[in-house]
Chain A
Amino acid sequence: MISMTELSKIHNSPESAARLKKRRAAEWRLKAYGIMAITLAGAALVTLMWSVVGKAAGAFTESYITLPVYLAADEIDPDGTGERAIIGRANFGGVTKDALKDAFPFVKSRGDKRAMYDIISGGAAFELRELTMADPAIIGQTIDFRFLASDIADLYLKGSYGDLVEQNAGGTLTVQSDGKTAVVTSSTTDFAFVMARVKSDLLAKAAFNRDQAALQENGRAVFTQRGDLDEAAKREAARDRLLGVAEELEARAALDGGREALDKNSPSVLVRMGETWVKLTEVSATGGEGKIIGVLDSGVRAAGDWQVYLQDLPEASRKVSDLQIVLIENLRSAGAVETVFSKRFFMAGDSREPELAGIWGAAVGSFWTMLVTILLAFPIGVMAAIYLEEFAKKNWVNTFIEVNINNLAAVPSIVYGLLGLAIFLGFFGVPRSAPLAGGIVLAVMTLPTIIIASRAAMAAVPPSIRDAALGIGASKLQTALHHVLPLSMPGILTGTIIGMARALGETAPLIMIGMVAFIVDVPTGVMDSATVLPVQIYRWSDFPERAFEARTSAAILVLLVFLIFMNGLAVFLRKRFERRW
């Protein structure tokens, strides 16, 4: 028997205090792990949302370029018939190109012209055609038309390729032009910033060469140790060559003044004189030599009449070329460029051109698919649940059905896709890519979820309700349909909505049954070829054009809005109607 004094000795000793401290620390640690886990999960969610929302903004606006366009009567409708069919056959792509040529007459070479055409979307010509077909009276006139900008022009206008930054320039600029190229010289060192940039690039290149040389030196040491002198000598030579290159680069960087060439891999330097620009190919601290974009005569420009711009991203690392930047900037200065809310993104079908692509086709496809799914899955699921919960006797057939349903709930969704491919498409001949096929597959997939949720809701109805109904003479079916089913409806609907939300976000099984095809038209029924929102997201995420990234994110946002709405509805139903017995 331990006496109380001894006990208090045990509990008041320094060892016990230390023990207690340790035990409390363990508790604190466990709590900290828990908080850390929740924080990590939250951080993952926030990062995901942030990366999607951050990228989506670009898809909700589109850019337009307004240009005067001459609708020549002898090209569009030579006989003046005013008939839609004849106007529709005219070459509006050519008309669009002519509008650009008129706006920028100095663009001469074929490559430059092609670059110029690329700032306007291929879809703009079709819009011009629609306009002309709707109002033939404008043929023969010059109208101001809002051409949809292409994806690269749009991205540039939204700043996705970095900004064209104006630099300080305070000298007077002397220009010697030969029509194609020009030498520009400033009275002060207005171009020193370029030299500094170029020199830091040179130093970085030198440092890289020194690193490579160090690797070769390592190799030489290793081979010398192994006795492979031939190999060692090769390494030594390579090392010396790299060091030589590094030293030369460093010497170039250290030199004051001098000239440096600018190529596709260095930042672009653009000198602007009103509408005309010079893209520098060679630069010194006070000036440089470059290609004229526009029309330029020799002469002197006072300070303030000219600007110098730096585009930090090298031309080779961006889709939009310096020429295109110059054209867009000229249009922007002329007030011909506007960026507005894009209705097109919500109203158009799919397209291979990012600026023309929209989610309407996929959204309608999703609607038809979900319609088929709910029409099949809801009644069948509820009927199955009624049978299993209210009628099934405990025998091996019913046990087998139950085990089956529980296992089906865990089958990977892609397997349902293959089931659809083999049975519904292959055997029953349901058309490929049709919402009917997708809806059937998703219904089969959602069925276990609905059955399990409905059974849980029916099981929650207390037996006293059934007993009362049976007691006043109702049959078993009347009890189930008139009493248990209405009382469990909120729970059933909640489960159904959650199942439908999952089906709406499902992708893999639909890819299996060909709903991944490129479909431009908006489906008008369950037998048309269609795609659905999540599959559209998958397809767009695969395209190389950068503008599709924003569209993918925006489509994800739309999908998430639908899902949040559905889940919110389920929560509302549960809170509002579910009874606790």
Chain B
Amino acid sequence: MKLPVQEIVDKYKNNIYAAAFSICANAGDAEDVVQDTLLQYYMTHTNFDNEEHIRAWLLRVAINKALNIQRSFWHRHKVPLEDYMETLSFETPESRDLFAEVMKLPEKYRAVVHLFYYEDYSIREISQILKTSESNVKVRLSRARAMLKESLKEDWLDE
């Protein structure tokens, strides 16, 4: 099966953007990732099993593209994260602090954290999306949680 591109845009554009931003920390690069990912979907001949398969594919492609941008010399000027955050409408100061502290985590931790807490994927599913071992995902998630607990104190609960 394959859903129309317009339906993908309506349903997943912001999920792709958020996943890309969580790695790039840069709106311009994240927008480029969204566009390239949608284009990749438009071009792909993959026969998806179901919509969940499509969602995982979109996030994997977006994360790979975001990581490729990060590793490349070819990335555009960065707008300082603080400046970009000034343009975002956080509901509460706690939300803003959480966002800021997550973005301070090492890049490889952010991808795992985002897929776990925002996209509700299990450790096994994240290992498949990121093509790494479950133990590696567990280690990164555990270290990220410890860092967030250290910085956010009571606003991040022990799990």
**Are A and B bound to each other?**
no
